[in-house]
Amino acid sequence: MARIGVYPGTFDPVTLGHMDIIRRGATLVDRLVIGVTTNPSKSPMFSVEERMAMIAREVAGVAGDIAVVAFDSLLMDFAEREGASLIVRGLRAVADFEYEYQMAGMNQQLNHRVETIFLMADVALQPIASRLVKEIALYGGDIRPFVPAGVAEDVAARVARLGRRGS
């Protein structure tokens, strides 16, 4: 039986930190499903469809069986639908751990058959957060050190369309 893992997130936009977790997570499972979702507490720069297209483009060269799937449900319901036995989560800092630890505990209560594993982002990538990438871009900063080149172009085009080039 194939071991399937789900790596969920908003990926708005996908960063080099996300890509690091995707590359490493894909080596731990037979199939990695990247679950792209909405988060009611966040205001996305890109639609779910746009984020899925960005991720699909960026993972095209990554080794492994990787799928990009949208979901708008409880993570554990999504994991069950995908046949996953693992949830892959990336950690950057202690603050991430506290939140992720609580979520893993709740998810374990919802479905004890699905295990959560945590991967630390590469040390050089730990400070990167999509929220900060968007803020830097909206104020005219250079986001190329934080995101894949194609994503930097996507973000620049979106910022130009929004008419925000610093204040």
From 51, 89, 130, 134, active-site residue: 130
From 24, 57, 92, 144, active-site residue: 92
- Verify whether residue 134 is a known catalytic residue: no
- Verify whether residue 18 is a known catalytic residue: yes
Q: By the 8 A CB rule, do 119 and 24 touch?
A: yes
Q: Which residues contact 60 (CB under 8 A, 6 or more apart)?
A: none
In the chain, at which residue ranges do the beta strands (DSSP E only) sit?
A: 4-9, 31-37, 65-71, 86-91, 115-120
From 18, 51, 89, 134, active-site residue: 18
- Verify whether residue 85 is a known catalytic residue: no
Query: Left if phi > 0, otherwise alpha if psi is -120 to 50, otherwise beta: which for 163?
Result: left
Q: How far is CA 19 from the centre of its chain?
A: 8
From 42, 131, 164, 165, active-site residue: 42
- Verify whether residue 42 is a known catalytic residue: yes
Looking at the annotation, which residues are catalytic? 18, 42, 92, 130
